[in-house]
Amino acid sequence: MKMKLAVLAVMVLPMSSGAVLAGDAAVGEGDFKKCKACHAITAADGTKIVKGGRTGPDLYGVIGRAAGSSEGFKYSASLAQAGEGGLVWDEERLAAFIADPNRFLKEATGAEKAKSKMTFKHKKGAEDMAAYLATLTE
């Protein structure tokens, strides 16, 4: 119950401050080289937009989908829990997650020990990355 309330807080607060960020998608696209060691981007029809590693889930259509819902990927318990609790990625939440995954999941789940399997932090240009990923959807 405590977890659900925390997730709700994360979902409601960004809306009041406006969930669309002023990121630059072109800058984000250039920065994706930092992500592709672990993430690929594959369109629904199988087209490989970015060939990448499999340490992390495929990021096609990530904006608008529930956290932790890429089929076949084994997420950390914390990220799976946040998704089950109703967390859906929008630009603001995604930018906050990639800037500091552990901290984001602590806030989203309300669990002090929450931990992400993503060890990389993308602090500078997180909004640009969110804007880029928002373009990759149906």
Using left for φ > 0, alpha for ψ between -120 and 50, and beta otherwise, residue 95 falls in alpha
Residue 63 makes contact with ligand HEC by CB under 6 A: no
Smallest gap from Cβ 9 to ligand HEC, in A, equals 19
Q: Find tokens 């603001």 and name the residue.
A: 92
Query: 7, 10, 79, 96: which one contacts ligand HEC (CB under 6 A)?
Result: 79
Which of 6, 7, 10, 67 binds ligand HEC (CB under 6 A)? It is: 67
Subset of residues 102 to 121 that bind ligand HEC, contact rule: CB under 6 A: 116-120
Rounded distance between C-alpha atoms, residue 56 and residue 72, angstroms: 11
Does 94 help bind ligand HEC (rule: CB under 6 A)? yes
Cβ 101 vs Cβ 116: under 8 Å: yes
**CB of 6 or CB of 118, closer to ligand HEC:** 118
Residue with smaller CB distance to ligand HEC, 8 or 64: 64
- For every residue of 3-66, DSSP letters joined together read HHHHHHHHHHHHHHH-S-----HHHHHHHGGGTTTT--EE-TTS-EEE---SSS---TT-TTSB
Report the interface residues with ligand HEC, using CB under 6 A. 34-35, 37-39, 55-57, 59, 62, 67-68, 70, 75-76, 79, 94, 97-98, 116-120, 122, 129
